[in-house]
Amino acid sequence: MRNNITDHGDFNSVTNKLSENLEQARDYMKKTKPKIYKKLMSFLEKQRKDIYPRVSLLDWGYGLECNFSCEHCGTGSLGGHNLGNQTFSKRMPMDVVRRVADEADELGFFTMSFIGGEPLVWRELDDLIKTVDSKRFYITILTNGWHLSEERAGHLADVGVNKIGISIDSGIPGEHDSFRQKPGAFERAVKAVHNAMNAGLRIHISTTVTHQNLRSEGVKKLLVLSNELDVSIDLQCATVAGQWQGNYDVLLDDEDANYILELRKEYPLIRRDLFPTPGGKGGCPALTGSVFLTSSGEVVPCLFIHISLGNVYKDSLKTILERGASVAELRKDTTKCLAGEDMEFIDKYLSRTFGASNLPLSFEDGFKKRSV
C-alpha cells in the first residue's frame, strides 16, 4: 500500500489556454443557452459560499452495453442491487428519465453526461437526449469513438449534443488497441475526433493514467496528439475500483500529481477534474460537483466510489443528495481524488467494497457502519 500522499501544490497558479477556451465556451453559452448559463452562475455562487448540496453534473450510465473490454472499466460492476425485493428493468423507462431530469433541473444541474458502457450502442440515445432536453442541460457524450462516423457526429449535433469526449489511452496505436482489446480502436478514435470537430461539436480526449504509464512514451505521444489537434485532454487518475479494485500499485503519488502540473507548461490543454475552472473552486468533484447515476437507478458520488447514496426509484434526487451531504468527507474541499489519491478515504470507505459481490454497497454498509 502506498503512503498517504500530500496535496499537489498550488494548481491555481497554472494558467493556460484551457481557461481561455472555457471562457469562450461560457460566452457562447450565455448567448445561446441562457437558462443553462444561469444555472452555471448559480452553481459557482454556491461554491463560493460553501452551500450544500451543490451539484452541477449528472454522469449517467444509462446502459452497460459496450463493444470494448477495457482493462480499467469501472462500470461493469455497477449493476445495482439495493432495491429490496423489488426488481427493476435494466432500462429506465422514459417517464422515470423525465422525472429525474426534471428534478435535476430544479436542483440546478446544468450538465448531463452520458457515459455508459458505450452510449453510441444505445438504441434509446436519441430519446434520452430529447427527454432530458438540450435547452435545459449542456449535453455531453463520452465514447470510445468506434461508432462515431461523420454522419453520426452530424446527427448528434442536430439532436442537441454539445460536446463529445473520446477515450484514448495511448498515442501508440498498438498500445491503445491492446488496452481496449480491440484492433483498430486507435485509428477509429482519432477519426472520431475529426468527425466531431467537423460537425461543430466541442471535443476533448479522455485518458486514464497510472503510476506506471504516466511517464511512458504512449502518454507522451497522446499529449503531442492533443496539441496537434488543439483539443483538451482530461487525465483521469487510476482508482481502486472496477478492474483495478484494491490495486494500490496503479495509483498516482504526490510526485506523479506534481509532474502533471509541470506537463501543463508544455501541454497547456491538459486538465484534471480537480483543477479549478474560471470563477470556481478546484478539488475532487464527487458530490461537490457531480454524481453518477447507474443503469439501475443507484446514485453514487462518482463512477469510482461504489457506495450508493440512494436509488431514484425510491427517493427524490434532492433526498439522495442531502443524504450524501451528511458524509463529512464528501463535503470537504480537497485537491486529491477521493477514489484514487486520498488514502484515508480509500482505507476508511472504499476498502469495504473490495471483494464485494454486489455493488454498489448500500449507504449504510458503505458510509455508516463502523469498520471492524
300-312 mean pLDDT? 97
User: What residues make up the domain containing 42?
Assistant: 11-368
Whether the predicted pLDDT of 16 surpasses 70: no
Whether 132 is covered by a domain: the verdict is yes
What number of residues does the chain have?
372
Confidence of residue 85 (pLDDT cuts 50, 70, 90): very low
Which of residues 165 and 50 earns the better pLDDT score?
165
Whether the predicted pLDDT of 98 surpasses 70: yes
61-72 mean pLDDT? 82
pLDDT at residue number 243: 81
Least confident of 60-74, 84-98, 265-279: 84-98
Sheet (strand 232-237) strand order: 270-271, 232-237, 202-209, 163-167, 138-143, 111-114, 57-60, 290-293, 298-300, 310-311
Quote the DSSP letter at residue 336: S
Whether 70 is covered by a domain: the verdict is yes
- pLDDT by residue (tens digit) across 124-157? 999 999 999 999 999 999 999 999 999 999 999 9
311 in helix, strand or coil? strand
Peptide bond into 278 cis (omega under 30): no
Q: What are phi and psi of 291, to 5 degrees?
A: -140, 165
Whether 6 is covered by a domain: the verdict is no
Whether 95 is covered by a domain: the verdict is yes
Whether the predicted pLDDT of 89 surpasses 60: no
Whether 121 is covered by a domain: the verdict is yes
Whether the predicted pLDDT of 79 surpasses 60: no
The C-alpha atoms of residue 248 and residue 3 are separated, in whole angstroms, by 10
Least confident of 95-104, 178-187, 318-327: 178-187
Cell of 69: 473490454
| Cβ 120 vs Cβ 151: under 8 Å | no
Q: What is the CATH number of the domain that holds 143?
A: 3.20.20.70
Which segment, 13-22, 234-243, 338-347, is predicted with the most confidence on average?
Answer: 338-347
Whether the predicted pLDDT of 13 surpasses 60: no
Whether 284 is covered by a domain: the verdict is yes
pLDDT at residue number 32: 87
Whether 1 is covered by a domain: the verdict is no
Place of cell 448540496: 53
The C-alpha atoms of residue 299 and residue 122 are separated, in whole angstroms, by 20
Confidence of residue 90 (pLDDT cuts 50, 70, 90): low
pLDDT at residue number 2: 41
pTM reported for the whole predicted model: 0.90
Give CA torsion, residues 110, 114, 115, 119, to 10 deg: -160
Please count the structural domains in the chain: 1
Least confident of 19-28, 130-139, 295-304: 19-28
| Cβ 228 vs Cβ 201: under 8 Å | no
Q: What is the mean pLDDT of the chain?
A: 89
Whether 160 is covered by a domain: the verdict is yes
Which of residues 60 and 88 earns the better pLDDT score?
60
Place of cell 463512477: 303
Q: Which candidate, 313, 318, 320, 362, places its Cα nearest to that of 92?
A: 313
Place of cell 463493444: 67
Cell of 186: 486507435
